[in-house]
Homo-oligomer: A and B are copies of this chain.
Amino acid sequence: MGRIAAAGFESRTYLIEHMDIQQYMTEVGQRARAASRAMARADTAVKNRALSLIAVAIRRDADLLRAANQVDLETARANGLAPAMLDRLTLSEQAIATMIAGLEQIVALPDPIGEISNMKYRPTGIQVGQMRVPLGVIGIIYEARPNVTVDAAGLCIKSGNATILRGGSEAHHCNQALARLVQEGLAGAGLPQDAVQVVDTTDRAAVGALITMPQYVDVIVPRGGKGLIERLIKEATVPMIKHLDGICHVYIDDQADLDKAVKIAFNAKCHRYGTCNTMETLLVARAVAPQVLPQLAKLYQGKEVELRADDEARAILAGYPHLAAASEEDWRTEYLAAILAVKVVADVDEAIAHINTYSSQHTDSIVTENHSRAMRFLREVDSASVMINASTRFADGFEFGLGAEIGISNDKLHARGPVGLEGLTSLKYVVFGHGEVRE
């Protein structure tokens, strides 16, 4: 049945792969731009209705979705895809339930669009403030994770944007099946189906086209590994909301509560290795290093974490079974693995200097009970998320209370840190007058 269900999704693909990709993407862009006008006007109730209908359709067609996913999985296995990638590609019953729950969460979030703030009278008599409006068309480029298709579509619908989704080619059948359900939900609510388009070709030229048509696409949100993002940065003429990597630090100050310090430094490294908010370098103040490092080593040893330490830390850690000497390269490395760089520093000044030199400006945390040092760290560390006495793992849209997350930005312009619905909007100035003119 999987093959039969999937066959229907292939006919259009077949046609497109025999069209010119540039022409196809131009048409996709034009349709998105047209749909974005209707989305910007859509009421909250209408957008919520579309999201609910999509959730209903996904629940109804869960078996069909899993069948389409099977086709993708079989091809991927035949092509020798790595087990970790296969895992991400798999649309389990649980994954489908999570997608549905995600849509319901987005329904429950307040609508950011149309909010008017800061209306103030000016001496001329006019009243000036700002209105939150959609960005327009969002392009999203991601790897073979079908759940992103629905999460991203949901966030773009709620924020009044049209979106063009380009998922990894390994998830092509499943993404096309999801696209049909999303478009069914849009149509059911009276919204244009073109508000969410899933690019219907596995040709890589489609990505090249998507990132170079600023006339149709207002911003690109790339989700994927550093290699993908680096390539997109080189070629894109459309602005991006992005982060390249997460080289996150925890600094344990000599006035830290060491119990908190040990808990945080263990959690920040070992809660999950593959996430961008995982600690990659631990900085410890000289005065407490002999106390705190051995305690931490016991915990890390239980997880077989390799420690790459500077000379001072190595002397303290002597005898640790997975110990290596750190080179400068280690300060610049995002391991995404059970490896941690460790460095002893004199004080908060040296910690801030090290972080502002080597951090990827993603997330950095200080552990201290000293108020002045905490406040200096907060102000002077130039990263998207700066924390006091908390694990870097909290740097996440859900944990920060954004409700959902389209991605994380390490850039300073527009959105910085976890990006939720607000990051997909812009503020325009609005003026209420009574016939005023400039004198």
Contact with B along A256-280 (1 / 0, CB 8 A): 0101100110111001000000000
B267 touches A390 (CB 8 A): no
Q: Is A350 on the interface with B (CB-CB < 8 A)?
A: no
Interface of A is mostly: mixed
Q: Report the Cα distance A401→B382, complex, angstroms.
A: 29
A379 touches B41 (CB 8 A): yes
A438 touches B399 (CB 8 A): yes
Q: Is A14 on the interface with B (CB-CB < 8 A)?
A: no
A260-B435, A437-B393, A438-B399 given as contacts; is B384 within 8 A of A135 (CB)? no
A389-B432, A435-B263 given as contacts; is B401 within 8 A of A120 (CB)? yes
Contact with B along A16-42 (1 / 0, CB 8 A): 000000000000000000000100110
Q: Report the Cα distance A431→B379, complex, angstroms.
A: 12
Q: Report the Cα distance A433→B393, complex, angstroms.
A: 12
Closest B residue to A352 by beta carbon equals B37
A239 touches B413 (CB 8 A): yes
Q: Report the Cα distance A259→B434, complex, angstroms.
A: 11
Closest B residue to A136 by beta carbon equals B412
B436 touches A380 (CB 8 A): no
Closest B residue to A257 by beta carbon equals B435
Instruction: Tell me the minimal C-beta distance from A242 to chain B in angstroms.
Output: 12
Q: Is A326 on the interface with B (CB-CB < 8 A)?
A: no
A135 touches B413 (CB 8 A): yes
Residues of B near A400 (CB, < 8 A) are 122, 128, 429
Contact with B along A96-129 (1 / 0, CB 8 A): 0000000000000000001000001010101010
For A431, give its contact among B114, B257, B394 (CB under 8 Å): B394
Instruction: Tell me the minimal C-beta distance from A282 to chain B in angstroms.
Output: 15
Q: Report the Cα distance A124→B365, complex, angstroms.
A: 17
Instruction: Tell me the minimal C-beta distance from A118 to chain B in angstroms.
Output: 9
For A413, give its contact among B219, B266, B379, B388 (CB under 8 Å): B219
Q: Report the Cα distance A305→B393, complex, angstroms.
A: 63
The tally of residues in A whose CB lies under 8 Å from a CB in B reads 66
Which among A120, A259, A384, A431 has the highest number of chain B CB atoms within 10 Å?
A431
Instruction: Tell me the minimal C-beta distance from A259 to chain B in angstroms.
Output: 7
B124 touches A435 (CB 8 A): no
Which among A239, A264, A378 has the highest number of chain B CB atoms within 10 Å?
A378
A385 touches B431 (CB 8 A): yes
B416 touches A379 (CB 8 A): no
Beyond A390-B434, A395-B429, 14 additional contacts (C-beta under 8 Å) are A37-B380, A40-B379, A41-B380, A128-B400, A135-B413, A268-B437, A367-B435, A378-B430, A383-B428, A386-B428, A389-B432, A391-B438, A393-B437, A416-B426
24 contacts between A and B (CB under 8 A): A126-B387, A126-B394, A128-B394, A131-B378, A131-B379, A133-B382, A135-B412, A136-B412, A218-B412, A218-B413, A239-B239, A260-B434, A264-B435, A266-B437, A271-B438, A385-B431, A386-B428, A389-B432, A390-B437, A391-B436, A393-B437, A394-B433, A413-B414, A416-B427
Closest 8 CB pairs of A and B: A390-B433, A260-B435, A267-B437, A393-B438, A387-B431, A412-B426, A389-B433, A417-B429
